[in-house]
Amino acid sequence: MKATVRLRLMMLLVSSLLLSAFSVSAQPVSTGWLTHPEHPPVQVRFMLTGEVDKTTHQINGLLEVNLKGEWKTYWRSPGEGGISPILDWSRSTNLTALQWQWPTPTFYEQLGIMTLGYKHHVIFPMQLTFDDINQPMVFSGKLTLPTCTNICVLTEYELNLPAITLTEFKTDPTAQHLYQQGLANVPTHSNSTEVIKTSFDYDSQRLQIKLQQKNEWQDPQILVDGDQIGDDHFSQPVININNNIVTATYEVTNWLGKTHLSGKPVSITVSDALFAHELSTVIDDKPLVKSSSTNLLTVIGFALLGGLILNIMPCVLPVLGMKLNSMLTSSNLSKKTIRLQFLASAFGILTSFWLLASGLLILKLTGHAMGWGIQFQSPWFIAFMVSITALFTANLLGLFEVKLPGQLSTSIAKKGGNSTLGHFVQGMFATLLATPCSAPFLGTAVAFALGASVFEMWMVFTFLGLGMALPWLVFALFPNLILFMPKPGLWMNKIKALFGLMMLLTTLWLLTLLVPFIGGLTTLVTGLLFCVYLLYRIAKNKGKKTVIVILAVSLLITSAGLFTASLTTKHWATLIKDDLTWLPLNKNSIDQYVKQGNTVFVDITADWCITCKANKIGVILQDPVYSELQQESVITMKGDWTQPSDRITTYLKSHQRFGVPLNVVYGPNAPQGLTLPVLLSSDQVIQALEDAGRKQ
């Protein structure tokens, strides 16, 4: 009996010892959660899964990072404004290599700087290679982790694990699950996605990559990095999808200047809705791949039409008055003189477009932002235009005449009293005044030109100028058309005064563009002083009765206009008060809103863009669009390009636009966004909201 009891006690003791040994072996090998006292928003822990591969001498591990709020850490190639995490494991024993696996990152933008990284929670799988399985392995490392919000913090964590007996190491289910969870987000090598072509153009510092896969692309993200890239940074790419082929175009920058990428090996990380792959290739220097079916001849046609349409855009209406005035005063001149004057105006237009092309080319070569109408972001240019239009106003109202030297005046008189130089300047002035406007076909042509070679850029701008100069060229080729114009007479003075009032309105409009730069009060006082001075000069030259008549007629026209509008509000568009909640443009917020099932309407505008104002008054602030944008599931965002903004310029480029307006609708069915035409219509906006996925 005693022997039986003794035997049972011994068996119980052995079982307890075995269970204790098993429990120790199965205990998770982890640093536990580590928090730096000076940076509590971030937690890290390092774990081993317990899976030992005797053949490859590898054991799996992971680094898990929790980030509170808007804190983020970075990818292996963090972009222009980031630093990649570093793990120094040199103090470890029986450890010969550590391979860090990187999950697919996300683009983030801060103050116009693009970075790649992770927010909230990320798991980095790792493979540790040991030397001798019969020797204990001791892991001792120091993690340097960069994290950023509006500020950046560089924090160090000591990652130390107890000595591990590899032959007795057991699997930890929790660590194994986390490892597999992290590995699922790491791009894999696959033959289903292949690189068709890479192209790098040194002059434009532009890289293009063309990929193909078996199925159609949905919402691809394509990243480029490599060990030999160094300080080269890649913009967020412009993506073009054609069935199962995708082309990504990057702007490449380097703080040292131009860079050479041809011949360098790179890694391409490509992810889509259902996969993430990593590819390797060598960058070629072949000509850039066209990102669409648009060829130069098509764009030249667009440029010609876009330039022609500029003649009837609101920004150019005052100049149309000057054109008509030129035609009326030319009816009694010889055909030769008429032809010369209209050719001079046409050449003035072409010269302005060539100057614009030269200026944009200089900006392009120096790496600055480019865009149609960007000169109106300069208060000095606006002030110059205000001065010029004010002089034209005063001249058209007969307040002064330009006095030229005697010999020059005699020469001009002999030629008919109209200066060829004056017509040339008039053509240049018309072009400068037209640049705040975007017209149909114009955006496509300008976008192509700013992304093309020097020759193609000059060709496109030349045909833009020819399109705008077409009315002048028609009269130059067929001067007999002047005979169909009314004969000059005293009535022309009244027409000239009307053109002067149109130019005055243009001057006052240009003056309002200075509000963001000099303030509303200064602008108001300047405008009032200018109007008072004009009335004073008119009273001095034409008499006080003329001033009284002008004020009376202005008051009468204003009253009649308001009265007529009040009677016809049901038949005309009535502007609704702009009480939409406009959030500032933020690409990351767009992605988050779309993931939550919302639709996002983006409006990129500028105070100097008349087409933008026409879209706002005629479509956005009119029903049914206004009511649709008021829905809870619709988020409205606005980007103001009145003043220079690298962030908005980058956004415009991502949609292959180089000017405003730009309107884009995002939604669950259109995460990349649906780009709307330059001139909006209610039907187009409503249809885009529906197509993007907002349910009625």
Q: What is the pLDDT of residues 468-486, one digit of tens each?
A: 888 888 888 887 776 666 5
Residue 518 — very low, low, confident or very high, per pLDDT cuts 50/70/90?
confident
Residue pair 599/565 in contact by the 8 Å Cβ criterion: no
Give the closest residue to 311 by CA, choosing from 395, 430, 392: 430
- What is residue 316's predicted lDDT score, i.e. its pLDDT? 59
Cβ neighbours for 27, distance < 8 A, ≥ 6 positions apart: none
Written as one string, the DSSP assignment of 83-148 is: ---EEE-TT-BSEEEEEE-----EEEEETTEEEEEEESEEEEEEEEEES-TTS-BB-EEEEEEEEE
- What is residue 637's predicted lDDT score, i.e. its pLDDT? 94
- Paired tokens of 74: 């970075």
- What is residue 260's predicted lDDT score, i.e. its pLDDT? 85
- What is residue 135's predicted lDDT score, i.e. its pLDDT? 92
pTM of the model: 0.44
Give the closest residue to 449 by CA, choosing from 348, 358, 316, 352: 358
Give the closest residue to 186 by CA, choosing from 119, 60, 277: 277
Domain 193-282 sits in CATH 3.30.479.30: no
Q: How far apart are CA 555 and CA 31, in angstroms?
A: 82
- What is residue 161's predicted lDDT score, i.e. its pLDDT? 93
* Mean pLDDT, residues 449-461 taken together: 72
- What is residue 492's predicted lDDT score, i.e. its pLDDT? 56
- What is residue 412's predicted lDDT score, i.e. its pLDDT? 37
- What is residue 495's predicted lDDT score, i.e. its pLDDT? 63
Residue pair 208/291 in contact by the 8 Å Cβ criterion: yes
For the ranges 67-71, 97-101, 527-531, which has the lowest average pLDDT? 527-531
For the ranges 33-42, 282-291, 300-309, 656-665, which has the lowest average pLDDT? 282-291
Percent of the chain scoring above 90 in pLDDT: 19
Q: How far apart are CA 621 and CA 627, in angstroms?
A: 9
Residue pair 164/136 in contact by the 8 Å Cβ criterion: yes
Give the relative orientation of helices 442-450 and 296-309 as an angle to the nearest 10 degrees.
Answer: 130
Residue pair 633/599 in contact by the 8 Å Cβ criterion: yes
Give Cα 516 to chain centroid, integer Å. 21
Q: What single-letter DSSP state applies at residue 164?
A: B
Q: What is the per-residue pLDDT across 397-423, written as a single tens digit (0 to 9) for each?
A: 666 554 444 443 344 333 434 567 777
* Mean pLDDT, residues 135-145 taken together: 94
Written as one string, the DSSP assignment of 326-391 is: HHHHTTTS-HHHHHHHHHHHHHHHHHHHHHHHHHHHHHHHTT----TTGGGG-HHHHHHHHHHHHH
- Report the C-alpha dihedral over residues 172, 176, 177, 179, rounded to 10 degrees: 140
Considering the chain, tell me which residue range(s) the CATH 3.40.30.10 domain(s) occupy: 582-692
- What is residue 308's predicted lDDT score, i.e. its pLDDT? 81
Q: Count Cβ atoms below 10 Å from residue 567 Cβ, excluding itself.
A: 9
- Dihedral angle sign, alpha carbons of residues 460, 461, 462, 467: positive
Give the closest residue to 660 by CA, choosing from 681, 645, 670: 645
Q: How far apart are CA 523 and CA 274, in angstroms?
A: 56
For the ranges 37-51, 215-229, 540-554, 617-631, which has the lowest average pLDDT? 540-554
- What is residue 665's predicted lDDT score, i.e. its pLDDT? 92
For β-strands 276-282 and 265-271, DSSP reports them as antiparallel
Higher pLDDT, 307 or 157: 157
Residue pair 273/416 in contact by the 8 Å Cβ criterion: no
Arithmetic mean of pLDDT over the chain:
77
- What is residue 105's predicted lDDT score, i.e. its pLDDT? 92
- Residue 441 above 70 pLDDT? no
Q: Name the β-bridge partners of 250.
A: 207
* Mean pLDDT, residues 217-222 taken together: 83
- What is residue 314's predicted lDDT score, i.e. its pLDDT? 55
Q: How far apart are CA 316 and CA 432, in angstroms?
A: 9
Residue pair 642/377 in contact by the 8 Å Cβ criterion: yes
Domain 30-183 sits in CATH 3.90.1200.10: no
- Paired tokens of 631: 């829905």
- Residue 543 above 60 pLDDT? yes
- What is residue 23's predicted lDDT score, i.e. its pLDDT? 38
- Dihedral angle sign, alpha carbons of residues 509, 514, 519, 523: negative
Q: What single-letter DSSP state applies at residue 66?
A: E
* Mean pLDDT, residues 117-137 taken together: 93
Q: Hey, which bits of 387-525 come out as E strands?
A: none
Cβ neighbours for 187, distance < 8 A, ≥ 6 positions apart: 104, 269, 270, 271, 276, 277, 278
Q: Report the residue count for the chain.
A: 696
- Paired tokens of 194: 């292949």
Residue pair 439/678 in contact by the 8 Å Cβ criterion: yes
Give the closest residue to 239 by CA, choosing from 653, 553, 690, 685: 653
- Paired tokens of 88: 């120094």
Q: Count Cβ atoms below 10 Å from residue 187 Cβ, excluding itself.
A: 21
Q: How far apart are CA 505 and CA 510, in angstroms?
A: 9
- What is residue 137's predicted lDDT score, i.e. its pLDDT? 92
Q: Name the β-bridge partners of 127.
A: 60, 99
- Residue 682 above 70 pLDDT? yes
- What is residue 59's predicted lDDT score, i.e. its pLDDT? 94
CATH for 582-692 is: 3.40.30.10
For the ranges 47-61, 407-421, 515-529, which has the lowest average pLDDT? 407-421
- Residue 49 above 50 pLDDT? yes
Higher pLDDT, 202 or 222: 222
**HSE-up of 658 (CA within 13 Å, CB side)?**
23
Phi/psi of residue 584, nearest 5 degrees: -65, 145
* Ramachandran sector of residue 201 (left: φ over 0; alpha: ψ -120 to 50; beta: rest): beta
* Mean pLDDT, residues 78-96 taken together: 89
The CA distances from residue 134 to 30, 162, 378, in Å, are 21, 16, 72
* Mean pLDDT, residues 268-284 taken together: 87
- Residue 463 above 50 pLDDT? yes
User: Is 81 in a helix, a strand, or coil?
Assistant: coil
- What is residue 235's predicted lDDT score, i.e. its pLDDT? 80
Cβ neighbours for 44, distance < 8 A, ≥ 6 positions apart: 31, 33, 34, 63, 64, 65, 66, 143, 145, 157, 159
Considering the chain, tell me which residue range(s) the CATH 2.60.40.1250 domain(s) occupy: 30-183
Q: Count Cβ atoms below 10 Å from residue 680 Cβ, excluding itself.
A: 22
For the ranges 65-69, 71-75, 559-563, 640-644, which has the lowest average pLDDT? 559-563
Q: What is the per-residue pLDDT across 347-386, written as a single tens digit (0 to 9) for each?
A: 988 898 888 778 777 765 554 555 555 566 677 777 777 7
What is the identity of the amino acid at 199? S
Q: How far apart are CA 514 and CA 365, in angstroms?
A: 29
- What is residue 696's predicted lDDT score, i.e. its pLDDT? 42
- What is residue 560's predicted lDDT score, i.e. its pLDDT? 66
Q: How far apart are CA 296 and CA 460, in angstroms?
A: 8
Q: How far apart are CA 314 and CA 319, in angstroms?
A: 10
Considering the chain, tell me which residue range(s) the CATH 2.60.40.1150 domain(s) occupy: 193-282
Residue pair 691/671 in contact by the 8 Å Cβ criterion: no
Percent of the chain scoring above 70 in pLDDT: 74
Residue 43 — very low, low, confident or very high, per pLDDT cuts 50/70/90?
very high
Peptide bond into 661 cis (omega under 30): yes
Higher pLDDT, 691 or 269: 269
Peptide bond into 644 cis (omega under 30): no
- What is residue 423's predicted lDDT score, i.e. its pLDDT? 79
Q: How far apart are CA 92 and CA 158, in angstroms?
A: 12
For β-strands 113-119 and 106-110, DSSP reports them as antiparallel
Q: How far apart are CA 426 and CA 403, in angstroms?
A: 18
Q: What is the per-residue pLDDT across 308-361, written as a single tens digit (0 to 9) for each?
A: 877 766 555 566 566 666 666 666 667 788 788 888 888 988 898 888 778 777
User: Is 454 in a helix, a strand, or coil?
Assistant: helix
Cβ neighbours for 518, distance < 8 A, ≥ 6 positions apart: 379
